[in-house]
Amino acid sequence: AAKAGGRRTRRLFEPAMDAALQGRRALERDLREAIAAEALEVHYQPLVATGSLAVTGCEALLRWRHPERGFVSPATFIPVAEETGLIAAVGEWVLARACREAAGWPGGVRVAVNLSPAQFRTPDLVGTVARALAESGLHPARLELEITEQVMLEETTANLAVLHQLRALGVRIAIDDFGTGYASLSYLRVFPFDKIKIDRSFTAALGREATAVAIVQAVIGLGASLGMTTVAEGVETEAQLAALRRSGCGEVQGFLFSRPVPATELRRLLGEAAAPWTAAA
């Protein structure tokens, strides 16, 4: 009976799996073409100080404008880039691009770049980062690298060594999407991050669940006692901002202040934001 069931299951799901696989192959082929045709862009989203609302940094977020599919989300194509090894080239390009762009921003403004776990499997991530800094002239303290828990889960010893070497370059290291992993707390014991980015699912729950406030406050307190800055992602409402202010969160990032915008638009925003940022209505 198990065998028959298995056969039936396979027959039912094979067409769907084929379609999914073909979809991924098409995506992979298109992504290769996009890299060659330079159809990828980096957009930037400001991070602002919770008190003054001054811009402290901007996160570089990859964008792909596809001729037929339109805007393709990084949530869709980053996994494909990781599986196919394309992430090495894409990641190197984003780093170089973001550092060059940030070198032209006002002095105090940092740039945050996301690193994928697959980039930690490339032979010379530290060299790649060092080159991006040297070629752009960006001061290392103005580069922040965001990593996710996946990096801490995989090849822990090797990845930890790379994190320490990156830190030795003078760059800052942030842990992204904090609180969504299986063992988020344990990573704080293993590596002294400069910054904790509280996942936007917690921010979204702030007005709705009393427990979310308690968790966010605990993370902020933890960060403070470990000497780490805390950032809340995905801030969309004044009420969320107020709750984060009360909780002592250091920085905030979200649509309330700005969506990720193209480099030219960001430059204009930074020019205007010499005076403290005013939250969008």
Rounded distance, CA 260 to CA 99, Å?
A: 17
Pairing of strands 40-49, 70-72: unpaired
CA 177 to chain CA centroid, Å, is 8
Question: C-beta of 13: minimal distance to Mg ion in Å?
Answer: 30
206 binds ligand C2E (CB under 6 A): no
240 binds ligand C2E (CB under 6 A): no
Query: Under 8 Å CB-to-CB from 237, ≥6 apart: which residues?
Result: 207, 256
Among 9, 73, 211, 278, binds ligand C2E (CB under 6 A): 73
Scan residues 21-40 and list those touching ligand C2E (CB under 6 A).
none
SS3 content of the chain, % helix, strand, coil (to 5): 55, 20, 25
Nearest-CB residue to ligand C2E?
254
What is the dihedral angle through the alpha carbons of 44, 45, 48, 53, rounded to the nearest 10 degrees? 100
75 binds ligand C2E (CB under 6 A): yes
Rounded distance, CA 217 to CA 131, Å?
A: 38
Identify which of residues 250 and 260 has a Cβ nearer to ligand C2E in the complex: 260
Among 30, 34, 45, 151, binds ligand C2E (CB under 6 A): 45
Q: Work out what residue 61 binds among ligand C2E, Mg ion, none; the CB cut-off runs from 5 to 8 Å by kind.
A: ligand C2E
Residues of this chain that interact with ligand C2E (CB under 6 A) are 45, 60-62, 73-75, 78, 91, 94, 114-116, 146, 176-177, 200, 233-236, 253-255, 260
